[in-house]
Amino acid sequence: MSRITLKNVTKEFVTRGGHRVTAVDNFNLEIQEGECFSFLGPSGCGKTTTLRMIAGFEDLTEGEIWLGDKPVSVKSKNLYVPPEERGLGMVFQAFAVWPHLNVFENVAFPLRVKKTPRDELRERVMTALGHTDLQGAEKAYPSDLSGGQQQRIALARAIVTNPRVMLLDEPLSNLDPKLRESMRFEIKALQKKFNFTIIFVTHDQSEAMALSDRMLVMDLGKIIQTGTPREMYQNPANKFVYGFLGLSNFLRVRVRDGRVFPAEGTIQPIPFELPQGVSDGEGLLASRPNEIGLSRTEGTGYPGRIEKRLYMTFCIEYHVNIAGQVIRVHTPHGNVLPEGCGCFVQFRNPRWYAGESEQVELERIERQVI
Amino acid sequence: MKFFLTSMFGKETSRGDRRFGLDRIVFLLSLFILIVTVLMPMLMIVVRTFFKGTQPDWALFTRVVLAPENLSAIYNTVKIGFLVTLFGTVLGLFYAWLIGRSDIPMKGLMKALFTIPYMFPPFFGAMAWSLLLAPRSGYMNKWFMQLTGSTAPLLDINSIGGIVFVETCYYFPFVFLQVVSALERMDPTLEESARIAGAGQWYVIRKITLPLVLPAIAAGAMLILISSISHFGVPAILGFSNNIFTLPTKIYQLINRSAGSFDGIREGAALSILLVGVVVAALYIQRLVLKTGHYDIIKGKSMRPMLIKLRGAKIPLLGISLLSLFVIVVVPLFMIFIVGFLKAYGLPLTLQNLTLRNYEYILGQSKMVRDSIVNSLFLSVASGVITMFLGVMIAYVVIKVKPRGKGFLEMLSLLPYSIPGLVLAIGVILVWSGAFGINLYNTIWIILIAYIARYVSFAMKSASASLEQVHYSLEEAARSCGATHLESLRDITIPLIRPGMIAGFFLIFLPAMRELTTSVLLYGPFTRTLGVAIYAINSEGNTVQASALATVAIGIIIAGHFALRYVTRDRKGI
């Protein structure tokens, strides 16, 4: 029942200026029962629009959405089930707890709508409040409570009807970092207890990776890649996913005769096995700062110069100049190299990507404004 | 008074830096102006009512309050106020919901039309509707009687119902604008989460939307109630002929009949206290209603709220809205405009009956009218400039300087907001007709003083709004660059709030241009204002000339609004 299927889902908006924007472009996805699935992407990528179409707040321009065996939005048949009949739970970024109702009444609202008998209502609300650590606060008003507690009210309100699918729209981004981490675990624990399917929308890659069984990365309305967090991190499909899933350096390089050079006129190639089918021309060599070795021993890598050294909490960061381009390198505390000295850089797990046009970058910025 | 002031600032010198000199002058100056223009008139009303010379005298007050004609005026005032508030709130809510939450087309046009009643004084509406629905002479009634052969008019605008109708037309935007803005600022997820929880559209409106905008509704309704209770123009134009009096028109009648005699003014003062009492009671009721508190409903990322599809009801609802807007806005303006060109009131509205003679008369021949236009222009510009600077000074003291006693200053500046214009006028008469050795009665200056007192609340609110956006750090940055306090004010703060100041000027200029309630008690033989001139010509029965002059006033007001819009066209947040 809690499988979610999206087929060819497309959503177009007409902006105030009058031109059409495809917010979500031919989105196909199947989310399994009990799965925790994340939509990850920068703002304006279409992830929230997709979630709102699943919730029923937006109609589709094309395509269909199924909850289990039940179609809820089928454009070709003009079928559209309003949000209140979809039987979902949802938690919003701004909590959306009702300020004129106290905690008990906030959580009781979904049951009151369904005209649940009084005793049962009371029992279920108290259970939900227990699960979210809100016992004793039922008479308080939201304005008396902290952000974390307000988000717990929203969670309790979402689970009180025991929905099979839970939609989470950046529920943690209004919380401070410490609280965010503990709420992550609480959501995971609730899922284990009630075994609902989660769709989690976020722009925070570490949140997505920590929480999800599977995830996808969206950009400019399209799904770029779908997979488990591990697959995605280890094998990003393009430069965008690589850059989105962690810290990264992109070294502009030239390919000549199957060898990779950091700049025109440099004689020494970077030791790197190019993927098949890459012809001569320009490209990007992607690397993660913590996957680069740094030493002063001749012959251990590509020569460079340390321009700057910064002490950070988990590592030391070096800014290393390689043939005119600067990359960031993270090494553990301990072995310290001085600023200004020559060094040798070893890329342990570099990847090669074709460059991205400026056009794409501009479009991304434009969509954020809309 | 001297003791009071020193006790208020005694400890203030501990701040000790040089900026205190300037700030202190600003504080004392604005306090002085407010005490003279606002506080003293109010005190004088109380003193004159309850004291005869130096002897306490309660007899006058009890006699005035218990006079049967005054009791019926109280009854009418409360009845009209209640009905206008009821209908205005329902109407305003309906349109606010339609525009804020439904998918009705032409929202932009409707919103623009809704602001029009705001621009024009309600007594224009009263004039226009009596052109149409005066029992015998109104065009609509005449057509009706011709068509049906009936001898009874279709509707009689000279009735309580007529007064309620016209006031409702002009005051419902108070609720409309308050609620529409609350709906637009409201976080849409508050409603969406209720939908997800299983509630249908109507359930969400009843249980979530309405309770959340209740403070906005109450605030708008209270504005309607206070405005209606203290309103003079509409009941004066529609009520006098049928002996329907409200408290403001009764006060006007008392003062007018007494022809400046002291006893008449005392009686008017006593009734004023009663009127203020009714307003205070209304404000108290509002407090009770709003006790549930103000909710913070503005949160989260801005997203378009989910609009409710009207489906089949869309076209009928659009039709009803446009028709009612047409009746409320377009019809009265058109009537005033067309009658201004008529050779004589009552002639059929055909081409050969039209003439420019009325304009010739009012703009060319009538010195009284020309004087009134000049007077109103002078008064509006002067009170606009003075009050705007006063407002900036008060707002500066209240927001930036924050001395002890700022609460008192703020209270004084906001007090005129809830004092009916007629009451203020009586107070100003009591203070400035020789009681303190200065007699300004029958001069233009007494009107100017009254305007300043009347509009200082607007100016103060508008200046506070812009000053609050100028962060401390901006001025401090200038100081850290070596600017003196005066220089940082002149080069940083004032330029930043200049657009707000210009807008504030127009917010006073425009209502002052059409002011009637205060001026009608204060004008002398040579100091009629535009509003007074229109009102006087109209009550003398020269309907066509009154309409022509009203058209001129409408032109000036529209020009002012365009100027305001031009000034504020790209006003951005600082």
Per-window interface: A 114-153 vs B, CB < 8 A: 114, 143
Same domain, B405 and B463: yes
Residues B305 and B441 placed together within one structural domain of the fold: no
ipTM reported for the complex, 2 dp? 0.82
pLDDT, residue B13, reads 42
Q: Taking CA atoms, what residue in A is nearest to B206? A: A113
Picking from B304, B338, B372, the residue at the C-terminal end of a domain is B338
pLDDT category at B347 given cuts 50, 70, 90 is confident
pLDDT > 70 in chain A, percent: 98
A26 CB contacts (<8 Å, ≥6 apart)? A8, A9, A10, A63, A222
Burial A204-224 (b: 16+ CB within 10 A, else e): ebebbbebbebbbbbbbbebb
User: B interface mutation test: which of A67, A100, A114, A155 has the most B CBs within 10 A?
Assistant: A100
- Measured between beta carbons, which residues in chain B are less than 8 angstroms from residue A83? 192, 195-196
Q: Does one domain contain both B304 and B218? A: yes
The whole-number pLDDT of residue A153 equals 93
| DSSP-assigned states of every residue in B475-487 | HHHHHHTT--HHH
Read off the pTM.
Answer: 0.81
Q: Closest Cα of chain B to A85: distance in Å? A: 6
Do B308 and B364 fall within a single domain? Answer: no
Strands A36-40 and A197-202: parallel
C-beta separation of A340 from A305 below 8 A: yes
Task: Give the mean model confidence (pLDDT) for residues B1-22.
Answer: 47
Let me know: does B196 contact A84? Beta carbons within 8 Å.
yes
pLDDT single digits (tens) B435-454: 787 888 888 999 999 999 99
Q: What is the pLDDT of residue A274?
A: 79
Judged by a CB distance cut-off of 8 A, whether residue B17 touches chain A is no
- The mean pLDDT of B114-142, rounded to a whole number, is 85
> Between A and B, how many CB-CB pairs are < 8 A?
78
User: What distance in Å separates the CA atoms of residue B389 and residue A65, rounded to the nearest whole number?
Assistant: 61
pLDDT at A2 over 80: no
Instruction: Give a yes or no: residue B90 inside a domain.
Output: yes
Q: Which residues lie closer than 8 Å to A290 by C-beta, 6 or more apart? A: A247, A315, A330
Cβ contact (<8 Å) for A157 and B197?
A: yes
- Single-letter amino acid, residue B464: S
pLDDT per residue over B21-32, tens digit each? Answer: 788 888 999 999
B132 and B192 in a single domain? The answer is yes
- Domain residues for the domain of B233 are 73-243+269-338
Tell me how far CA of residue B155 lies from CA of A198, B132, B144, in angstroms. 64, 10, 10
Average pLDDT of the residues in B83-104: 91
User: Domain for residue B249, yes or no?
Assistant: no
Minimum CA–CA partner of A107 in chain B: B197
Q: How far off is chain A from B292, nearest CA to CA, in Å?
A: 8
**B402 part of a folded domain:** yes
Q: Does B208 touch chain A (CB under 8 A)?
A: yes
User: Based on the structure, what is the number of domains in chain B?
Assistant: 2
Chain B positions touching A110 (Cβ under 8 A) are 197-199
Percent of chain B whose predicted confidence (pLDDT) is above 90: 22
Alpha-carbon distance B199 to nearest alpha carbon in chain A (angstroms): 6
pLDDT digits (tens, 9 = 90+) for B225-244: 989 998 999 999 998 888 89
**Would you say residue B346 lies in a domain?**
no
**DSSP track, B331-342:** HHHHHHHHHTTB
Residue of chain A whose alpha carbon sits nearest to that of B209: A98
The contacts of residue A270 (CB under 8 Å, 6+ apart) are A253, A260, A261, A262, A285, A302, A347, A350
Say if B190 is an interface residue toward chain A (CB within 8 Å).
yes
Could B198 and A100 be called an inter-chain contact, meaning their C-beta atoms sit closer than 8 Å? no
B108 CB near a chain A CB, below 8 Å? no
User: Which residues of chain A have a CB within 8 Å of the CB of B292?
Assistant: 100
Domain-terminating residue out of B290, B311, B338: B338
| Mean pLDDT value across residues A139-160 | 91
Task: Note the pLDDT tens digit of each residue in B167-196.
Answer: 999 999 889 988 988 888 888 888 999 999
B327-366: buried (b, 16+ CB within 10 Å) or exposed (e) per residue? Answer: ebbebbbebbebbbbbeebbeeeeeeeeeebbbebbeeeb
- pLDDT score of A368: 66
B403 lies in the same domain as B524:
yes
Does B222 lie in the same domain as B91?
A: yes
